[in-house]
A and B are shown apart, each in its own frame.
Chain A
Amino acid sequence: MRPRVAAAAGGAIALVVALGACSENTGEGTTVDTNRQQTGVIATDPKDSMGPAAEVAGAQKGGTFTIIRETPISHLDPQRTYSFAGLMANPLFARYLTTWKDDGKGGLVLVGDLAETPGTNVNSDCKVWEFKIKDGVKFEDGSAITAKEIAYGIARSFDPDLSGGPTYIQEWLADSPQFDTKWDFKKNKTSLPPGLTTPDDKTLRFEFAKPRCDLPFAVSLPTTAPLKADKDTGVNLDQRPFSSGPYKVAKNQAGVQLTLDRNPNWDPKTDPVRHQYPDQFVWSFGPTADAANNRVIADNGADQSALAWNYVPASLVAKVANDPALKSRSILSPTPSANQLVINTQRVTDLKIRQALNYAIDRDGLVKALGGQTVAAPMTTLMPPSTIGYKAYDAYPAGANGNVDKAKELLGGQTPELVFGAADSTTEQQMATQLKGNLERAGFKITIRNIPDDAKLDEVKKKNNPWDLYIGNWAADWPSGASILPVLYDGRTIKADGNSNQSYFNDAAINTEMDRILALPPTEQGPEWGKLDERIMKEHAPVVPLFVDVAYAVHGSKAGGIFISSVFGYPSFVNAHVKQ
């Protein structure tokens, strides 16, 4: 789980949460479908995890699908992949233990990818998990993928040389954040990390010191991509990953172009989500967001089957939104990346003031200030709508523009003076100015203090930071409440520095309730997180939920099958095809 910072060059930080409604482009024009909600489940029937994936209506084989992106993908090595582009590119050439069957409309089902099912909770205590590996799964050289190669992939993720990827599984196996000192990969290349075993070629077994009920979700990240030990080129695997998916690297001109050809050894019968429609995928790096979008809008030659990865820039939004021909070639969808006005509850201890803040916010005005519905969609909950078990509610109903009277009533004549710490980036400055205006209407006195953009995240993670309010952003790595609420609101995790709980909220009853839910079987947790979400907001109001980021992308007239992933909020390529 990670807080999101605007994606910048050099592998900046990114984060995701599960997203609300993803609307596939149907050619009927684009509106953000905010009513769609996550209906995610974990598939228990092995049939759901079998291939082939359902055919995409109208999709044909052939052609080259191009993705134009400004900056290169920071890592192609699955064990090091964590950027959004990397997470969306990886499924083309890497398979995992589990994966999400995503209908692009908010319907998510966790299915077995290389595994026959999303895992067996052996003793029903979430401490021992087993995965049975499918028959007929192969690498690009035709050799079989067994539990051993998946275990090797996980083992190499312990290597500090191969940094950058998610660290859930490593930390859980080692039962320590210092996993790479608990088990040294370089010295133990022929053995496996503690707790990871392969009783036979078809079985992968995890044993944890503590219950890890989210394991089926965590193994949907690229950490579990298989690799043969003799194909491990260490840090050079980034240039040429060894494929287990429907495509393989044909040519990689790092930083310029990545060309993927069909992998003839990928068997669709084993794969519940991926297709192999285009002959080739080409990732083309370099053009700015403006240039890439202009190219795709021009719909010329090879760009007809291209997608501009970087979303429609502000300068082109009006053009794309108002041209009917372009509407059918654009995708507009909320993402799981949720933004809040975080209240530092150590400083703002009066619940009434926190509630008044919730009433005073003009979400509609904020969305407009940020650029409108192509940029942001308002939200009133802690978890974004696409989270499994999401419950829609508004604890402080104040209409689209806020309720100043209600806020004033709660304040009872007080004029609280609050310090708003804002990064000196354009977006945060815009937001801070807008929110200050909202709050001052209701009688608050707001002082904006600027924080250098690249230091802001580190600063607000410090327990004794000097601000009352700041903007927070969170996107989880999988759409489960367990990857959101305990991370952000369990007060027992608060330390001096590096806190994800940036409201420094700590309530014994809420903590106990989280423990109760975390001990439930993963399939039963969903609705409980939804209820807890509402309870935290009603009883404590540690933040003001603001909006989820919206994805707005254009593609060429012959590019089909693109939808925004309900898990990561970026375009998914599993259904991509070139219209002939």
Chain B
Amino acid sequence: MARFLIKRIFSAVLTLFAVSVLTFLMFFALPRDPVSGMCPKNCNPERLERVRQELGLRDPLVTQYAGYMKGIFTGRDLGSAQGGRCDAPCLGWSYVNNEAVLDTITRVLPVTLSIVIPAAILWLLLGVGLGMVSALRRGTWLDRAAIGFSLTGASLQLYFVGAVLLMIFVYNLRWLPVPSYTSVFDNPVKWASGLVLSWIALAFLFSAIYARLSRAQMLETLSEDFVRTARAKGLAKPAVYGRHALRAAITPVVTIAGLDVGAALGGTVITETTFGIQGLGRTAVEAVRAGDLPTIMATVLISAVFVVLANVLVDLLYAAIDPRVRLG
């Protein structure tokens, strides 16, 4: 177990390093001058050049990269134009948002977490639930209805479902307020009512694949010997399905869920745009559009951390769920 963890963490660090280097390099390949965004109207070439030097944009790439990495682990002095001393984990200063990138991230990350985590719980419950029901009631109208429902979800796009939900519940029926983010610690009711549509929309779309996957897995598992054995020795149905069959059937579902949740945390840009909520995804897209390297770096790295972490977590969960898996 310890050996497995060390190996996984080592490969995770390598992945993150590669992502950070790639992002850094790609930014410099972009045909954009971040300085012209700082000083949009009346800067003459001499002044722009001074700004570039002050920001270190004329330093060699390796120096710039090393400075950035040093900032994350030990903090660094960014100079008065970028807010002065920046403590670790220093993600730099955004000259587009005019604030420390860490401040941006600490503001938008809870928003994305608030969208994705409840939505993921919802889509897992809904998806796996539907899958189980259809597997156990195979061939009945319930099976067909559940699969039809999930197929509909899978065929639609979030910006469409989102717009329809908004039109019905916010603008016509007026049951819900216009989506917005409130901290769950400030006002849990407002938090939920402001985000519930995004949860429903995401869950509706995502649950389809889980329903189909868990249905197929469940059917396969139900035909396996150990299930027959369990039933033959007289175990009650709930115990057979719940304790034995489900545990075996759910492993691939967990794999997909880990990837999905990790990816969703990194970029719910379509959800955020549809519902007009500013989270990590929109922040990332806006940063790319504005050529805001420090924010791009931070959002890409954080997304990468989520995906990598989710994968480690999935590997650990395997062992817990499926007795046949041993980590080593």
| Contact status A161-B80, CB under 8 Å | yes
Does B152 sit at the interface, judged by CB under 8 A?
A: no
Task: Choose among A163, A234, A298 the residue that contacts B171 (Cβ–Cβ < 8 A).
Answer: A298
If A10-B291, A163-B43, A256-B181 touch, whether A286 touches B277 (CB-CB below 8 Å) is yes
- Does A316 make an interface contact (CB < 8 A)? no
Q: B97, A180: Cβ atoms under 8 Å?
A: no
Q: Are B51 and A82 in contact (CB under 8 A)?
A: no
B60 within 8 A of A: no
- Which of A114-122, A265-273, A288-296 binds B? A288-296
Also in contact, A300 and B39, with CB within 8 A (given A235-B82, A254-B103, A255-B278): no
Q: Assess the A236–B83 pair: CB atoms within 8 A.
A: yes
For the complex, is A178 an interface residue (Cβ under 8 Å from B)? yes
Asked whether A186 is an interface residue with its Cβ less than 8 Å from the other chain, the reply is yes
> Interface 1/0s, chain A 179-219, versus B by CB < 8 A?
01000001000000000000000000000000000000000
Q: Is B81 an interface residue (CB 8 A)?
A: yes
Q: Is the CB of A160 within 8 A of B50?
A: yes
Residue of B nearest to A12 (CB): B40
| Interfacial chain A residues near B54, Cβ < 8 Å | 160
Query: Quick one: which of B98, B276, B277, B289 contacts A235, CB cutoff 8 A?
Result: B98
| Residue contact B290 to A10, C-beta cutoff 8 Å | yes
Instruction: Tell which of A238, A285, A292 touches B99, judged by Cβ atoms closer than 8 Å.
Output: A238
Tell me if A370 counts as interface (CB < 8 A to partner B): no
Interface presence of B155 (CB below 8 A): no
Q: Is A167 touching B42 in the complex (CB atoms < 8 A)?
A: yes
Instruction: Say which residue of A72, A291, A295 sits within 8 Å of B97 (CB atoms).
Output: A72
Identify A10's interface contact among B45, B93, B292, CB under 8 A.
B292
Contact A163 B178 (CB under 8 A): no
In this assembly, does A75 line the interface, its C-beta being within 8 Å of a C-beta of chain B?
yes
Q: Which residues of B contact A10 (CB under 8 A)?
A: 37, 96, 286, 289-292
A232 to chain B, nearest CB (A): 11
Query: Are A2 and B41 also in contact (CB < 8 A) when A9-B286, A10-B96, A288-B276 are?
Result: yes
Contact bitstring B81-96, A, C-beta under 8 A = 1, else 0: 1111000000001001
Assess the A253–B107 pair: CB atoms within 8 A. yes
Given known A180-B47, A235-B98, contact A163–B177 (CB-CB < 8 A): no
Chain B residue numbers with a CB within 8 Å of A238 are: 98-99
Q: Contacts A13-B41, A295-B178 known; A286 to B278 CB distance under 8 Å?
A: yes
Given that A238-B98, A256-B107, A286-B276 are known contacts, is A166 also in contact with B80, CB under 8 Å in the complex? no
Q: Once bound together, how far apart are the Cα atoms of A284 and B182, in whole Å?
A: 13
CB closest chain-B residue, reference A237:
B98
A284 to B40, CA, bound (A): 24
Interchain CB contact under 8 A, A239 and B99: yes
User: For the complex, is A301 an interface residue (Cβ under 8 Å from B)?
Assistant: yes
Answer yes or no: B144 CB below 8 A from chain A CBs. no
A67 and B32 alpha carbons, distance in the complex (Å): 31
- Given the known A-B contacts A163-B51, A254-B103, A294-B171, are A13 and B80 also in contact in the complex, defined by CB atoms under 8 Å? no
Query: Once the chains bind, are A74 and B98 in contact (CB under 8 Å)?
Result: yes
Q: Is B225 an interface residue (CB 8 A)?
A: no
Question: Which residues in chain A, 1-36, are within 8 Å of chain B measured between CB atoms?
Answer: 2, 8-15
| A161 vs B84: C-alpha distance when bound (angstroms) | 11
Interface pair A256/B278, CB less than 8 Å apart: yes
CB neighbours of B82 from chain A (8 A) = 235
- Quote the shortest CB–CB distance from B48 to chain A (angstroms): 10
Q: For chain A residues 440-484, which have a beta carbon within 8 Å of chain B?
A: 454
For residue B174, CB closer than 8 A to chain A, the reply is yes
Are A2 and B42 neighbours in the complex by a CB distance under 8 Å?
yes
Residues in A whose Cβ lies below 8 Å from that of B276: 286-288, 291-292
Q: Are A166 and B291 in contact (CB under 8 A)?
A: no
Interface string of A61-79 (1 = CB under 8 A from B): 0000000000110110000
Inter-subunit contact B273/A75 (CB<8 Å): no
Q: Does A140 contact B (CB under 8 A)?
A: no
Judged by a CB distance under 8 angstroms, whether A365 is at the interface is no
**Is A142 an interface residue when CB atoms closer than 8 A count as contact?**
no
What residue of chain B has the Cβ atom nearest to residue A73's Cβ?
Answer: B98
Restricting to B100-146, which residues have a CB under 8 Å from any CB of A?
Answer: 103-104, 107-108
Shortest distance from the beta carbon of B76 to any chain A beta carbon, whole Å: 16
Q: Mark A153-179, 1 if CB is under 8 A from B, else 0.
A: 000000011011011000000000110
Complex Cα–Cα for A74 and B286 (A): 13
| Cross-chain contact A75 with B98 (CB below 8 angstroms) | yes
Nearest CB in chain B: distance from A178 CB, A = 6
* A498 located at the interface, meaning its Cβ lies under 8 Å from any Cβ of chain B in the complex: yes
Contact B96 A285 (CB under 8 A): no
Given A13-B40, A254-B103, answer yes or no on A160-B51 (Cβ-Cβ < 8 Å): yes
With an 8 A cutoff between CB atoms, is A303 at the interface?
yes
> What is the minimal beta-carbon distance from B109 to any residue of chain A, in angstroms?
13
Q: Which of A274-326 contact B (CB under 8 A)?
A: 284-288, 291-292, 294-295, 298, 300-301, 303
| Contact of B99 with A164 in the complex, beta carbons under 8 Å | no
Whether A255 pairs with B47 at a CB distance below 8 angstroms is no
Give 12 A-B pairs besides A2-B42, A75-B98, A286-B278 with Cβ atoms closer than 8 angstroms: A72-B97, A74-B96, A163-B43, A235-B82, A235-B83, A254-B98, A254-B99, A255-B108, A256-B278, A288-B276, A300-B171, A497-B45
By a beta-carbon cutoff of 8 Å, the part of chain B in contact with chain A is 32, 37-47, 50-51, 54, 80-84, 93, 96-99, 103-104, 107-108, 170-171, 174, 177-178, 180-181, 273, 276-278, 282-283, 286, 289-292
Complex A-B: 12 CB contacts under 8 Å: A10-B289, A10-B290, A11-B290, A13-B40, A166-B41, A238-B99, A253-B107, A254-B103, A254-B107, A294-B171, A295-B178, A301-B174
- Which 7 interchain pairs have the tightest Cβ spacing? A10-B290, A287-B276, A161-B81, A2-B41, A238-B98, A163-B39, A298-B171
